[in-house]
Amino acid sequence: MPPHSPDIDEPAGDPAARRTAARGPRPKKLATIARHGRLKRSNPVATGLKILASTLAVALVSGGIVAGIALWDVAATVKPGVALVDAQGETVTDLPAIGAYPGGVNLLIVGSDSRAGQDPVFGDAEEETGNLNDVTMLVHISEDHSNATVVSFPRDMFVSIPSCPDPTGGSFDSMSRQKINTSLSYGGLACTALTVSQLTGLEIPFAAEVQFSGVMAMSTALGGVTVCVADPIEDEYTNTFLSAGEHTLEGYEALQFLRTRHGVGDGSDLSRISNQQVFLSAMMQQVKSAETLTNPAILYSLAKAAAQNMQLSDSLTSLDTMIAIAMTLREVDLSNIAFVQYPNEAVEGGVEPIDDAATALFAALANDQPIQLTGATGAGAVANPADPVPADPAEGADAGADPAATAPPADATDTSAGAVVLPSSVQGQTADQRTCSRGRTLENQ
């Protein structure tokens, strides 16, 4: 495994020594005068309380100092932001507090395949100069923070790209039909955000771009993510070889697991999406565990990894905004976090949206309604073999019927659960589902 831990530059000199030299020698303390007489007898309870109070005071003070240094350190590593614009071309500014944001939170996460500034193991940055958004995910958190949905957009899906601002001035022309993963190289993060906004009908005030090193750093900050592999994964392209069973992945291994497509499902990008959802659900289960949410070292490491390795929109460079968004997710139950794939169908050279299913999905998100999935997990994932097999469908039911045929319209909800039932063409899983990667060996490629 190649090294992936970033080097840490220590500041020159000893800050404590410099401060001492600047102040000069300290004045000597006055000698304590001993007074004779009867001393009060010590009360063990009072003494214990005093010790406890003193200990708490020291802990609070030192904790505050550490927190202050940590926040300063993270703030110092945040890269300059990217200005986002809305559909009218107006810059997104003056955002209200997350808890009061109307219509919920929409955060776009873009994974770039650029080799610029990355480890040489990923290729020559001079020769492989592409900058495609191979991973495009929209995170929607409802206004009441009761549910969240993460939508993955297939990289080879044909969409229209709107006119995007040129960072050097002016704007780029719109395009009627291009693969969505060209939007990043065409007009940067702001263009990808506009493209997804036009496609979904949702305003996107927050966006972040992450490269290979960022994925490695964040998985390492978590101490690794344990994933389940149902069948052996063999992929010579990403050098990913995993036997059936559980594997704890971090750093380079975690990144290559997320990048593999030849080694999962049918070898397509769609299989890679469902394989990524196996990782994401396992990660959410881990992040939501008490050990993670109450461990300041892990939380700080995650914030530092994000700040160092992500290109953020201007709206996300504020620490309180980043923390507020993270805090909203902490309150969402795992069963109410859904990972879905944008509904699509195959066409020559790629895939294209299934408009009816997409309309149902994004109408639910626009109205902050929870969703109920009826589709499969996707070609790259299967239910955990260790879990009990679900009961057969009720006698007399048509097991082969398409759930989409009986799904309610987009604005209808399941009154028993309050959720919008989506067509089966919307594939995915919830964060509490235990799924495994469906591996693919070399002999089947």
Sequence-separated (6 or more) residues with CB below 8 Å from residue 436: 227, 228, 229, 230, 278, 381, 382, 383, 384, 385
Model pTM?
0.74
How far, in Å, CA of 149 to CA of 144, rounded?
Answer: 13
| CA proximity to 293, closest of 327, 258, 251 | 327
pLDDT at 159: 97
Q: Is the pLDDT reported for residue 222 higher than 50? A: yes
Q: Is the pLDDT reported for residue 56 higher than 80? A: no
And the tokens for 6?
A: 């970033």
Sequence-separated (6 or more) residues with CB below 8 Å from residue 192: 108, 110, 133, 136, 180, 183, 184, 207
How far, in Å, CA of 158 to CA of 408, rounded?
Answer: 27
Which residue type occupies 270? L
* Predicted confidence band of residue 104 (pLDDT cuts 50, 70, 90): confident
Other beta carbons within 10 Å of 156: 19
Average pLDDT over residues 205-231: 88
| CA proximity to 142, closest of 11, 280, 337 | 337
Q: What is the pLDDT of residues 317-346, one digit of tens each?
A: 776 677 677 777 777 899 999 999 999 999
Q: Is 372 helix (H, G, I), strand (E, B) or coil?
A: strand
Q: Is 75 helix (H, G, I), strand (E, B) or coil?
A: helix
Give ∠ CA 79-81-85 in degrees, rounded to 5.
165
| CA proximity to 112, closest of 259, 328, 235 | 259
* Predicted confidence band of residue 167 (pLDDT cuts 50, 70, 90): confident
β-bridge mates for residue 346, sequence order = 351
Q: Is the pLDDT reported for residue 95 higher than 70? A: no
And the tokens for 389?
A: 């097999």
How far, in Å, CA of 297 to CA of 60, rounded?
Answer: 16
Q: How many CA atoms lie within 13 A of 335 on its CB side?
A: 2
Q: What is the pLDDT of residues 366-412, one digit of tens each?
A: 999 999 999 999 999 999 888 766 554 444 434 333 333 333 333 33
> What would you report as the CA-atom Rg of the chain, rounded to the nearest whole angstrom?
26
Q: Is 226 helix (H, G, I), strand (E, B) or coil?
A: strand
| Helix residue ranges per DSSP H, 269-426 | 269-287, 290-293, 296-309, 319-330, 355-366, 403-406
> Pick the residue with more confidence: 151 or 28?
151
Q: Are 344 and 157 in contact (CB under 8 A)?
A: yes
pLDDT at 33: 38
How far, in Å, CA of 118 to CA of 214, rounded?
Answer: 10
Q: Is the pLDDT reported for residue 295 higher than 60? A: yes
Angle between helices 296-309 and 319-330 (to 10 degrees): 130
Q: Is the pLDDT reported for residue 353 higher than 90? A: yes
> Pick the residue with more confidence: 230 or 388?
230
Sequence-separated (6 or more) residues with CB below 8 Å from residue 186: 161, 164, 172, 175, 178
Mean pLDDT for all residues in the chain: 77
Q: What is the pLDDT of residues 112-149, one digit of tens each?
A: 876 565 555 655 556 655 688 889 999 999 988 899 99
Sequence-separated (6 or more) residues with CB below 8 Å from residue 256: 235, 238, 239, 240
And the tokens for 309?
A: 């390795």
And the tokens for 39?
A: 């001393």
For 227, phi then psi, to 5°, come to -115, 160
* Predicted confidence band of residue 198 (pLDDT cuts 50, 70, 90): very high
